[in-house]
Amino acid sequence: MCLGNDNKRDKHLHVAYGNSAYLMLPARGRLVPGHCVIAPIAHCDSSRNVDEGTWEEMRNFKKCLVKMFASKNQECCFIETVVKLGGGGLGAVGAALSKHTVVECIPLPYDVAERAPMYFKKAIDEAE
């Protein structure tokens, strides 16, 4: 996901670039039409660890997506999954092993979106 990597296989999925973040289509299938991904350009393990400028750009992408999907009577569900945050105390080696963060945007019809928090709460309550 880092644009610094010479990984050209997913470039055709990129939709828009900012100075420090970009918007792309998911590399492995989409959950629903309109499903997209926001990611920082530089490697980062969590959006909570990005600098202020990157956070602002990611937030602006979110705002634009919310407006776009609202015009289609849909609401955005933003999901970020963080894996191996901080590398488990392994220092620089652990940081290198951490996954690049992405924020997924999943557009939902309004009636489904208003029930989504209930489903997330139930899943978290049932998780071990």
Residues 21-51, buried b or exposed e (16+ Cβ, 10 A)?
Answer: bbbbebeeeeeeebebbbbbbebbbbbeebe
Q: Are 59 and 38 in contact (CB under 8 A)?
A: no
pLDDT digits (tens, 9 = 90+) for 85-106: 655 544 444 445 567 788 999 9
- pTM comes to 0.78
Q: What's the confidence (pLDDT) of residue 119?
A: 85
